Amino acid sequence: MLRVRLFFALIVVLAGVASAHAQDDGRFLFNVGGGVGFINSSTKQLLQTPGASARQYALTFNPIFNFPIGRKFGAYAIGGIGWYHRSGETTTPGVAVICTPYWSWWFGCTLGSVNIVTSSTSSNAFGENIGGGLTYRLGEGRTKLYAEVRYHHASYNRVSTNILPLTFGIRW
128-160: pLDDT as tens digits: 999 999 999 999 888 899 999 999 999 988 888
75-85: pLDDT as tens digits: 999 999 999 99
Strands (E), 49-143: 51-61, 64-68, 73-99, 109-137
Q: CA end-to-end span of the chain, whole Å?
A: 35
Q: What is the pTM of this model?
A: 0.67
The pLDDT-based confidence of 3 (bands split at 50, 70, 90) is low
Q: Domains of the chain, with CATH numbers?
A: 2-171 (2.40.160)
pLDDT value at residue 132: 96
Helix (H, G, I), strand (E, B) or coil at 92: strand
Helix (H, G, I), strand (E, B) or coil at 57: strand
pLDDT value at residue 103: 57
79-130: pLDDT as tens digits: 999 999 999 898 889 998 877 766 556 666 778 888 889 989 899 999 999 9
Interval 15-25 mean pLDDT: 44
